[in-house]
Amino acid sequence: MQITYTQHAATRMSERGIRLAEIEATLMQPLRHIPASNGRTESQGLIERDGQQQLLRVIHQGAQVVLVITVMATSKISKYQGATS
């Protein structure tokens, strides 16, 4: 799998302190995939921040060549598990 990032995704990663390795792990072994708008997919995984588990939400498109559109991390795990974007 080849992974590329939009400028928007790179900016959000920097602002939110989300590492490439966390995104790649979520894309390779997600907790779940959820259909998102515009034919995109949301892959979800768990990460740890300051001793707390957070849900990493990666919005992307493509299968073999994956384009990451944006990324988010939230402590509101139950709110977004199974939610569509």
Q: What pTM, to 2 d.p., does this model score?
A: 0.87
Backbone angles phi, psi at 64, to 5 degrees: -75, -40
d(CA 47, CA 26): 9
What are the structure tokens assigned to 43, written together? 């892959």
- Domain spans, the chain: 2-80
According to DSSP, residue 37 is labeled G
pLDDT of residue 48: 92
pLDDT in tens, 26-82: 999 999 999 999 999 999 999 998 889 999 999 999 988 999 999 999 888 877 765
Q: For residue 60, how many C-alpha atoms fall within 13 Å in the half-sphere facing its CB? A: 26
Class in CATH terms, 2-80: alpha beta
46 burial (CB, 10 Å; 0-12 / 13-18 / 19+) is middle
Q: To which residue do tokens 């919005």 refer?
A: 59
pLDDT category of residue 85 using cuts at 50, 70 and 90: very low
